[in-house]
Every structure is written in C-alpha cells, then in structure tokens.
Chains A and B, each alone.
Chain A
Amino acid sequence: MVIGSASSGHRAPLLIRGGRVIDPANGLDAVADVLLRDGLVGEVGRGPDGRGLTAPQGARTIDAAGLVVTPGLVDLHTHLREPGFEDKETIRSGTLAAVAGGFTSVCCMPNTEPTLDTAAAIQFVQRTARAAGVARVYPIGAITRGRKGRELAELAELAEAGAVAFSDDGDCVMDGAVMRHALEYSLIVRRAVVQHAEDTSLSAGGVMNEGPVAARLGLPGWPRQAEEVIVARDLQLAELTGAHLHVAHASTAGTVDLLRQARGRGVYVTAEVTPHHLTLTEDLVAGHWWSATASLPPYDARTKVNPPLRTGDDTAALVAGLKEGVLDCVATDHAPHTATDKRCEYAVAAFGIANLETTLGSVLSLVHEGKLDLVEAVATMTCRPAAVFNLPGGTLSPGAPADVTLFDPEREWNVDPHHFHSKGKNTPLAGHFLRGQVLFTVTGGEVAFER
C-alpha cells in the first residue's frame, strides 16, 4: 500500500456507518457516516434524507454502531529506533504498533544510529516507512550534529528533505547559545525546535523523581527543577528570537506554570505531555511497598522513564494544563526497549516506556474518571498535535487524508505486552486493565489495523 498519494484512485471506497463521529476541528460530535474515497475523506454526515450515506459501488462498509469514529490519531513523539537499534524496534514494527494503538501518523525522533542529522538519513526513514506502508511517518531531524549539542545540523536541508521539526531528544541542548542559534536559524524554515528539557548538571545520574520515594529507595534523584530551569531559559530564548519552541514531555506542575505565563505574554511555544506523566506517579517505583494495591515489585525498571514519573500534584497540574490548552497535546514518547535493557539493576536499566498501544486507553481513563471530556481527549490526540507541527490530518474535513480511528470507549482489556505489535514490551501497565480499545485503524483509506 502506498500512503498519502491522493492520486491512487484504484482503491475501493470505504464507508464507516453509524458511529459516533468526533471531529473536534469541525466541532462535530454526532452519529454519522464517514465516506472515504481516493485516499481522502469524501463526506461526513447522514445524507440528504438523514438515513445515512449511500455506499458507492464496490465500497467496503464497516458497521461502527456503538463505536467512536475519530480522525486518525497523531503522535508527535515516537522512537522507531531504526536505523541502528532494530532489536528494540523497526520502522515496520513501530508503525504496526502505531496503528494497533489508533495512530495513523507518527513523528519519529532522530536518536538513532546514525543520528537523523542528514538529508540521506531522513530519506532513509521515509523510504523505509513507505515500503512498510502501515502508517504515516514524519521524521524529526536532529538540532545538532550527532546530537552532541555543539554544532548545528544542516537544518534547512533536513527540512527540505522532509523533517517536520528538530530535536536532540534523549539529550538536552544544554548550551544556551547553541539553543538560541537553533531557534534563530529555525526561522528560515519555520519548523519547531523541540527541547528535551533536562539540565544534566542538576539531574546528574538521577533515575527517578527527587523526593521522599527516592530518599527511601536510595536511588539518585532527578529533581523537577532540572526540567524547569531549562524550560524557563528556553522560553526566554523563544521570546528573544520569535521562533517556535516545542517543549517535549512536560512532567511537572512548575513547567505548566512557566508555559502558562509565557503563553500569556505571547511567546510562540507549544508543549506535549505523555500518557504516563498524566496518569502515573513516582509511587510506582516503590511498588507494593508504597501502595498495597500496586502490582509491581519495588525497583521494577519498567517504571524508569525520562523525565521520571512525578507526584500526584504534578499529574493533576498536567491534566489541568491539557484541559486548559497550556499543554497542546498528548504525545506517546513511545520508547521501546529489549527485555534485557529492562531486566537489570534500576540504575543500569534503559529509560522509556513502550506506549503506542496503551496511550488511548490511558487517556480514556482520564475521561472515565471525569477529568477530561471525550471530545477534549480526542482533540489532544488529533487536531491539536497536527496543528503543532502543521501536519496534514487530524481532521475529517472533506479532502483531508483518509485516516480514521474507530474505538470502543467502554471495552475493557488487560494489557498483555506479549500481544503488542511493538517489539518493546516494556510497560508498567502490564497486567493492568484499561477501558477503551481500538478496533479499526484506517490509513489513507485502507484498513491498516483491525482487531
């Protein structure tokens, strides 16, 4: 299958009937039919007589009664690991995981080997993704050569090759002058500079949130201030340069406050938050020691992620920030690792959670708890992220790419990583029940995933 070429008219039309269609960009939340043809959204509605759209000849029909039908989900922060770490994930396995989780578009991070800091590397990812033909992959180019934080990568050439943004994710651009210059230079191509905010002199060696739990476990702490000082600095630099700063994986209440203030004075800043920072806390690292209901043992490295899980006050502030719009969107920070990378001493284990297949369920848990409404939740994974990097998709407007996700918001399922399409089985949610599961994912008018 070839994704995204609007001219490929040989594909059979697809009619999705009778679902609850939520298209936040168009203010739509109603039972309706969605007709996809020629790789694009054709029509959304109930037809002239209100009895539904008519299926064109040769169309496949999906009965979506009882399901929620949304634009295909968009992820701004995915680690596909290829090239270089194919034991953790490949572009193919990662995009299969994406569609299994309802994501039709993923932006992949450049911390591969080699780094995505050349046009050739960007094109390799695009080519491989097209060959896999599962989901749309938008590569993010490195900010600096080799992600070393010193010299700028050829940002204009990366953008011409198709990089949708720039990031040294995994590492922070620590040098203030380099960050300033990256922001300034990004004005040439009008792409966001995505910062992994971590002052490494403050987080030095930290593997979990600094505070009572770390004190008890004897693990080196990663204080919230290590994130916030970089966010504060970068906001000043974004204001100075007028460039677009995007804050990756905001994890603290303080970051939300800084973003709110900066937005108030008109700084061009966007931000994302991960499902784990919205729903999980540092207590999980202490496992069933700290909470009798916890299913994990203490020091389980599946809880190890960068930035680390924080506190209940932080999750509350992050949810509020997402609802308010100070945080633009949810991003998975899908970080697959091998079992060996995680089955070891906590301090030695790799950072990251394989999130693509559980993100929707985690975000829906906020809906079930009454903290977000369903339309807001859908927006944070569709039109809102698409707008951040100005990506196609994220809506069901006629003429938009025919990317659609169908999920049952009530269906309960047990998270069994062995059933993941991702090679990464590393999630602290293993064994948990989530409510809300993807049943169909349509990419470019074709069913890319069907449960």
Chain B
Amino acid sequence: MSVDIKKMLPFMEDEEIAELFKKIIESENSEFKGIKLNRIAPFASEEVVSKAFIEAIKKGKDYVSLAPFVDDDVWEEVIKLLKEGYKINLPPLYPFMEDDSLQEIYKMVESGELKDVNISSLYPFIDDDYLDEVFLKQVKEGKDYVGMAPFVSEECLHKIAEEYINGDTMIDINCLYPFMDSDDIKMIFKHAMEKDDIE
C-alpha cells in the first residue's frame, strides 16, 4: 500500500519536512513523488524553509516560491550569496525583503558591484524616505534621477520645484514636471511664463 505524502504534509514533523525539502532540491526534476518545493513550504517552520531557500538558490532550484515563507534573517544570507557571485532572480523576491536588504541591493547595483539588475524594478519596493534621500542626492550630484521620479514623494518633488524657482538647482525640469503635484506644476509654468515675458 503506497502512502500519499501530499495528504500527510499537515501532520509531518519539521525534521521530516526538512528531509523532504532535501530530497526535492537534490532531485533532477525538482520534485519528489510528485511534490514540489512550493507545496510543502506552508507546512514547514520559517527556519526549515529558510534553510531550503538558501540551498535552492545554491543549487539553482525554484527558490522564488519559497520566498513568502522564509524568516526575515534570510535576506542577509541572500546578500552574502550575491556578493559571492550567485545568480539570483531578484525582482520576484523584492516584495518579501526587509528594507535594509533592499537598500543594500540598491547600493550594490548603483556602485556596479551587482550587474544585470534593472535598478528601476527596485524603486516601488524601496522605503519612501530612503528613495527621497537617494533622489535628492542624485539630483545634487547630477546623476540619473529621472527613472526614480514616478516613485518619489510629492513633498520631495515640491522641494525640487522650489529650488528650481529660486535658481538653486540646474535640474532639467522638463523631465520632472509630469510627476509633480498640480500646485507645483502651476508654480513652475507661471515662473516660466514670467521669464518668457521679461525676455
């Protein structure tokens, strides 16, 4: 008589599930008796899933489906793996990452340490205050800031609008006005029209 493991999953101990994870990760077709990683993850502890998650990354198996079930501490380990040169498909993991880890990835991409990662895919998930801070820094240093504009706060863009009016920044306002608040857009256009009249 064969035992249907799928039906047994809710009743399994952590050690048994960990063993199952190991068998699936080590198998060639990423399954054991018809069970895939994502099927068992909801029944395991965060600790067990986290270990399996790291192992799956190292072996190039389906780690993405485990992401919702991992421990928050696992992201530090992921950063370490990235630094060691492991190829990780990051965008599907962003929603589950801690703010610090996302900021660390941003810094790695920005510095060129991490290549082949589209930096704009990070913007929707980065903490608002941090993104505002980075945006203002990029503007100040004359680095590329346009891609961030749809994701920074209206308060941050207001600050830029005011600096522009006061002549405190050399920013290309044509790239930014589409993302601004109505009042800021009106202020910028009125300023441009006054300048136009004087000229």
A complexed with B: no
Chain A interface (Cβ < 8 Å from any Cβ of B):
none
Chain B interface (Cβ < 8 Å from any Cβ of A):
none
